[in-house]
Amino acid sequence: MLLTPPSIDAHEFRASLQLRTPRRVLLRHGEVHADPQSPPPVIATEVWQGRWIRRRAGDQRPGDASFPPHLYERVATDAGRVEPCNYLPFLLAVRAVVESAGEVGDRRQALAKELGNEDWRGFVTKLGGAADILDRFFPSFISTLDIRNATQAGFRRRGLLTAAQILAASDHELLTVSGIGELTAAKCRAQCAQAADPYAEYVDHVAR
């Protein structure tokens, strides 16, 4: 009499489906590690990025062997509860743009174009709109300074958008900006002197 072999315990990787999750992690979503003799590989370098869960090798939704749970079971994301089969392509498209090589300004423009894709409209809206998403990855340099919003608006009106422009401005010009006094001006100059790219209007806040 032949005995049915026991099910093999396996692990399946579930990535955190969020804009901030690196593309290398998202690409591993649903990966199965079925070797009981070795631990699953390290994919997430931070706990929030994802985790391995235990399951039976070959497990599917009851009654439907073609149903991969990691793609069709609704999960919590930064865009609400969604099916990964719909949301994951959006995240991968966004991360492909923001993690690509090139100048920050060019990547910001490419991201704006990608977010204008009609297929992504619902997700973009749920995430606060295209402008908010752009600023998550590539905020303006002046928004990173320790100054109030009204002061940032004053800088914009005067065309002071980069560290180099602020450093080149006279004390008189800076002091005419609302919210800027001598101490704040000195603090802004100190922050500008530490800018990685003094000529960049936008900065790279992409975690990889």
Boundaries of every domain in the chain: 9-89, 101-137, 141-193
CATH number of 141-193: 1.10.150
What is the pTM (predicted TM-score) of this model? 0.84
pLDDT tens string for the chain (208 positions)? 344 444 557 889 999 999 999 999 999 999 999 888 899 999 999 999 999 998 764 555 544 555 677 788 899 999 999 999 999 999 999 999 999 999 999 999 999 999 999 999 999 999 999 999 999 999 999 999 999 999 999 999 999 999 999 999 999 999 999 889 999 999 999 999 999 999 999 999 999 8
Alpha-carbon distance of 153 to 132, in angstroms, equals 17
Task: Give start and end residues of each alpha helix (H) in 23-161.
Answer: 23-26, 69-72, 84-98, 104-115, 121-126, 130-137, 149-157
Alpha-carbon distance of 88 to 19, in angstroms, equals 10
